Structure 1
Amino acid sequence: MELLQLQYFLVVARLEHVTEAARSLHVTQSSLSKTIGRLEEDLGVPLFDRVGRKLRLNEYGNKFLHRAERALFELEQGKQELRDLSSPEQGTLELAVTAASALPHILREFRKKRPHVQFHVQMLATQEMVKLLHQGDVDVCLSSPAVEEEDIECQVVYNDPILVAVPKGHRLAERTSVSLTELKDESFIGVKRGYGTRDLADRICKSVGFEPKYVYEGDEPARLSALVEAEIGIAFIPSTARNSRDQIQYLQVENHELVREIALLWHKRRYISQTALEFREVVADYFKPLT
């Protein structure tokens, strides 16, 4: 049995189509079919039921799939560990975030500590971020909300109050706090559903009898302050995302615990590189004085 056979088998098992699997692997269909055929010969049983170019895992294939995934998973973990040991000063970091307001400060501190590390950051909705974490496509996530899943380790690093941002000149701009019910007729700007702050604010507002009316929904949280300043609407903005714009007033929410949790996430069963461990330390150190 060859490693290539297992790799091809996993792709075919996922796509269940010879043409699509060959295209994904950048090989010819005949080469792919022969490789799967040799694997079945080595095992002594068929792994798929075939209908034209469509394939369906049979009972043998489903049993073998679990073992093959574990074998390749362990080999990949071993490669990462050896790479980490052989080049301790280098390293890479794949990072996914749903809470990005503190990210520039965190990355600056991390860059001071590990100047030669290459990192890549993706801003994602929670569901997509967790999917990539399970797949091993990201090392660490900085998330809001916290996520509770069997294979996910979650460390809450900060409880971040959510404020109401209004433009100067707004009827509430002279206030320092506001009740949620006073906002029911306002126009809101915010991020799309699926982001932690949006989903939390919507849920709390619904609990007091109204749903926010959004005139703008985007996927760039940093843009919200500029839109508030332009008097397009008001916004729920975490305290860590508050800036010093003169034309915005931030109000505390009265009588409700409108607070988001910011958490570090990583996969329990995957190898954690020294780079990822040090990034987690930088994040915890950044939020410690705020807490």
Structure 2
Amino acid sequence: MELLQLQYFITVARLEHVTEAARTLHVTQSSLSKTIQRLEEDLGAPLFDRTGRNLRLNELGTRFLRRAERAMLEIEQGRLEIKDLTSPENRTLELAVTTASTLPAILREFRKQLPEIQFHVQMLATEEMVTLLRRGEVDFCLCSPPIQGEDIECQIVCIDPIVVAVPAGHHLANRTSIALDELKDEWFIGVKKGYGTRDFVDEVCRTVGFEPHYIFEGDEPARLSALVEAEIGIAFIPSTASHSREGIRYITIEGHRLDREIALLWHKSRYISQAGQRFREVVVDYFKSHN
């Protein structure tokens, strides 16, 4: 069994489409098909159910995929460890976040300490973020709510109260606190379903008998304050994102603990580079100084 066979198999298994897999791997379809066929012959069992040109991973293939991904991850970790120990300055830190309000300050401090290290950040929904973490395609995730898993290390770094942001001219703007059920007839703006904070807030609202009515749903949490200031609607905003703006008032929620937990995640089996260890320290120190 060759590493190339495993690499090809993993790509085909994830896409379940030979043409797309061949395009991704930059090989011909016939070469890819022959490689998968040789792998199945080596294993003595088919890994896919085939119907014409369509194929779907079967139960045996699903089992083998988990082990193949684990094996390739270990090899990749070995490569990264050697690279990190011999050329640490050439490392790029891969980050995924569902909560970005604190990220600029964290990255600014990290860059001060390790200016030679590059980083790449993706803003993702929770499910996609965890998928990339498990595949080893990101080093760390900063997310809310925390994600638990046998293969995921989860460190809660912040308890972040959620407040209501309203325009300065709103009829609730003079309130300092408000009960959650008083908001049942309001128009909300927010991020799309799938983002942890949105899903958490919606669930708490259901417990008091209403579903927030969203008139705007996006995938850029940082834009919510601008939309509130423009009097498009009101929004649930984490305290860490409630920066002082002339056209916005922030109201505390009473009667319910509407707090989000922010967590730093990393893969338990993944090698953590020297830069990664320093990034983790920067994140923990940042929240300690701001809690």
TM-score, normalisation: structure 1: 0.91
What is the CA–CA distance in structure 1 between the aligned matches of 2:173 and 2:158, rounded to whole Å? 28
What is the CA–CA distance in structure 2 between the aligned matches of 1:273 and 1:200, rounded to whole Å? 33
Gaps of 5+ in 2: none
1:45 aligns with 2:18: no
Identity in percent: 71
Q: Which amino acid aligns with 2:228?
A: V
| Superposition deviation, residue 129 in structure 1 | 0.7
What is the CA–CA distance in structure 2 between the aligned matches of 1:136 and 1:16, rounded to whole Å? 20
| Superposition deviation, residue 64 in structure 1 | 5.2
| Superposition deviation, residue 54 in structure 1 | 4.7
RMSD in angstroms over aligned alpha carbons?
A: 2.2
Deviations 1:20-76 (A, max 9, x none): 4323322123322443455456x3735456655455667876665554433322211
The 3 A distance-change label for structure 1 pair 89 and 187 is: same
State the partner residue of 2:260.
260
The 3 A distance-change label for structure 1 pair 224 and 16 is: closer
Q: Which amino acid aligns with 2:183?
A: L
- Compare CA radii of gyration and give the structure with the larger one: 1
What is the CA–CA distance in structure 1 between the aligned matches of 2:125 and 2:199, rounded to whole Å? 11
What is the CA–CA distance in structure 2 between the aligned matches of 1:189 and 1:57, rounded to whole Å? 40
SS of the aligned residue for 1:288 comes to: helix
In the TM superposition, what are the counterparts of 1:220-235 in structure 2 within 5 Å? 220-235=220-235
Contact (CA 8 Å) 1:5, 1:39: kept in 2 or not? yes
| Superposition deviation, residue 18 in structure 1 | 4.0
Q: Which amino acid aligns with 1:189?
A: I
| Superposition deviation, residue 10 in structure 1 | 2.9
| Superposition deviation, residue 203 in structure 1 | 1.3
Contact (CA 8 Å) 2:73, 2:135: kept in 1 or not? no
Gaps of 5+ in 1: none
State the partner residue of 2:35.
35
What is the CA–CA distance in structure 1 between the aligned matches of 2:43 and 2:247, rounded to whole Å? 73
What is the CA–CA distance in structure 2 between the aligned matches of 1:287 and 1:102, rounded to whole Å? 9
Q: Which amino acid aligns with 2:268?
A: K
In the TM superposition, what are the counterparts of 1:1-291 in structure 2 within 5 Å? 1-39=1-39, 43=42, 45-48=44-47, 52-54=52-54, 65-291=65-291
Count of aligned pairs between the two proteins: 290
Contact (CA 8 Å) 2:69, 2:135: kept in 1 or not? no
SS of the aligned residue for 1:138 comes to: coil
What is the CA–CA distance in structure 1 between the aligned matches of 2:34 and 2:201, rounded to whole Å? 55
Q: Which amino acid aligns with 1:248?
A: I
